[in-house]
């Protein structure tokens, strides 16, 4: 969309390419909460050399005799056991669960038969090898239940008067026989993983979770942000240029490095956003792009740069998520930045057209 003669096109595209590269460097904002960077040090890759200690008897999940055979039975044994070290391999999809791999045998913990002794099997992606952590509410030991993502059963030790040490998948009852502790240095990482799984489950079925706001800040304006490429008009006339906008949804939160990103993914988490919006005062929006549009035409003067910014109105809601509301509920405190369309004092989220002879930053200031 230009009237410039052909001899001007090469300089324009050369400069446009340079400016686009600059834009990529400065536009990476509001895609994840600040806390996500802080928590990334305790990433899922830290979940290696794990042990699972049962709260009822202090014994560790073990491969009986350290056997490398398929279908070797799993049991609990006192330290050091034969093959009590495990690692977590997370799934590629949020909420898909993870596999638990024995570091000695290379085989996966499997729950093939309900209420029968668990065994190790080759790690081949079968549903009975997918697991998730569920924190035990109020546990002084910071224990988890190990739940199977296929049928939601819990890893359980043999209950007295039984004397066998074997473990088996059983209906969850939150008893000490189903509670497991892990090393303290990876507890936070495991808890983050539990949040991620629960949030993904909540996004699919909001009946499994709820949000309660305890405090909310007055509306405020987030830092002005670039939401378009930067375009340079290398002609002697003004040109109306239509910018396609990459507007953020404006949502962010402070727990679970995956949850923070997920709140920005769009329609797959609308249920989560509606849960929060129902507990927040103000003209909330689940997606600013849908509310405000994603295109804007700007008349760019000759020999100047043009771009579009977003001044976003928002509020911060601090409160509590409750997960597994219909089962063994557990909670996680969070602070969520919620975008607002407008407020009672005349504030609003707005796009701004920017043109300058030089480009220094998104706000167009020196």
User: Where along the chain do the CATH 2.80.10.50 domains lie?
Assistant: 50-182
CA 109 to chain centre: 25
CB 145 within 8 A of CB 132: no
DSSP assignment of 162-182 equals ----BEEEE-----GGG-EE-
What's the pLDDT tens digit per position in 267-302?
A: 456 778 888 888 998 898 877 777 788 899 999 999
Say what the pLDDT of residue 248 is: 65
Q: Looking at residues 134-161, what average pLDDT do you find?
A: 94
Say what the pLDDT of residue 249 is: 66
DSSP run (H or E) holding 217: none
Residue 156 CB neighbour total at 10 angstroms: 24
N residues, the chain: 366
Q: Looking at residues 18-31, what average pLDDT do you find?
A: 30
Structure-token pair, residue 267: 């329609």
Residue 129 per-residue DSSP state: G
Q: What is the 3-state composition of the chain as percent helix, strand, coil, each rounded to the nearest 5?
A: 25, 30, 45
Q: Looking at residues 100-107, what average pLDDT do you find?
A: 97
Say what the pLDDT of residue 174 is: 96
DSSP run (H or E) holding 183: none
Structure-token pair, residue 311: 């001044």
Say what the pLDDT of residue 46 is: 56
CA 324 to chain centre: 17
Say what the pLDDT of residue 39 is: 34
Round to whole Å and give the CA distance between 19 and 93: 34
CB 16 within 8 A of CB 232: yes
| Class of the domain covering 50-182 | mainly beta
Q: Looking at residues 192-210, what average pLDDT do you find?
A: 89
Cis bond before residue 61 (omega within 30° of 0): no
Percent of the chain with pLDDT over 90: 58
What's the pLDDT tens digit per position in 3-13?
A: 332 333 333 33
């Amino acid at each position: 969309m230009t009237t410039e003669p052909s001899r001007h096109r090469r300089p324009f595209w050369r400069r446009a390419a340079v400016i686009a590269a600059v834009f990529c460097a400065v536009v990476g904002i509001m895609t994840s909460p600040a806390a996500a960077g802080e928590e990334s040090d305790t990433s899922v890759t830290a979940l290696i050399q794990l042990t699972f200690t049962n709260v009822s008897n202090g014994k560790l999940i073990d491969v009986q005799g350290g056997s490398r055979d398929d279908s070797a039975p799993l049991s609990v044994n006192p330290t050091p056991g034969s093959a009590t070290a495990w690692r977590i391999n997370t799934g590629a999809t949020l909420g898909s669960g993870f596999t638990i791999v024995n570091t000695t045998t290379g085989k996966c913990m499997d729950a093939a038969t309900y209420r029968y002794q668990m065994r190790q099997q080759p790690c081949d992606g079968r549903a009975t090898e997918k697991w998730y952590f569920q924190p035990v509410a109020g546990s002084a030991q910071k224990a988890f239940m190990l739940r199977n993502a296929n049928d939601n059963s819990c890893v359980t030790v043999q209950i007295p008067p039984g004397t066998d040490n074997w473990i088996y998948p059983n209906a969850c009852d939150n008893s000490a026989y189903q509670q497991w502790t892990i090393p303290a240095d990876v507890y936070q990482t495991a808890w983050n993983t539990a949040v991620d799984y629960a949030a993904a489950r909540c996004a699919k079925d909001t009946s499994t979770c709820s949000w309660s706001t305890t405090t909310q800040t007055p509306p405020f304006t987030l830092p002005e942000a670039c939401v378009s490429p930067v375009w340079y008009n290398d002609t002697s006339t003004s040109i109306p240029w239509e910018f396609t906008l990459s507007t953020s949804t404006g949502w962010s939160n402070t727990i679970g490095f995956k949850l923070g990103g997920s709140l920005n993914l769009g329609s797959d988490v609308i249920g989560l956003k509606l849960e929060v919006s129902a507990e927040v005062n103000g003209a909330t929006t689940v997606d600013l792009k849908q509310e405000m549009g994603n295109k804007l035409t700007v008349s760019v003067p000759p020999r100047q740069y043009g771009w579009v910014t977003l001044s976003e109105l928002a509020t911060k809601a601090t409160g509590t998520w409750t997960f597994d509301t219909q089962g063994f509920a557990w909670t996680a405190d969070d602070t969520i930045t919620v975008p607002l369309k407008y407020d009672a004092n005349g504030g609003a989220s707005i796009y701004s057209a920017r043109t300058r002879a030089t480009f220094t930053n998104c706000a167009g200031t020196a």
